[in-house]
Amino acid sequence: GVCQGEVVNSVGAGDSMVAGFVAGCLSGKSYADTLKLATACGGASAFSQDLAKREKIEEMVKQWA
């Protein structure tokens, strides 16, 4: 799946997704939760003017609940 939102600036979204994946792996999350975090990080950056802030990432993670 993907996060829902309006794309503002996609620059860095892929890098944010990779960072979310690495963070999920290093924190011991399950594979499914790691993919959710990665997608949330990428989406949050795409839906922000700059790279996403924690609050925006947490908002995107809640879409998966």
pTM score, two decimals? 0.91
What does the pLDDT read at residue 60?
94
For the question of residue 15 being annotated catalytic, the response is yes
Dihedral sign computed on CA atoms, order 1, 58, 35, 44:
positive
What does the pLDDT read at residue 1?
75
Cα of first residue to Cα of last residue in the chain, in angstroms, is 13
- The answer on pLDDT for 64 being more than 80 is no
Q: Which of 8, 10, 11, 15 is catalytic?
A: 15
For residue 2, the one-letter residue type is: V
| 35-63 pLDDT, tens digit each | 999 999 999 999 999 989 999 999 999 98
Cα–Cα distance between 18 and 6 in angstroms, integer? Answer: 21
Segments making up each domain of the chain, as ranges: 13-62
Which has the closest alpha carbon to 53: 36, 41, 65? Answer: 41
Which whole number is the average pLDDT over 12-28? 97
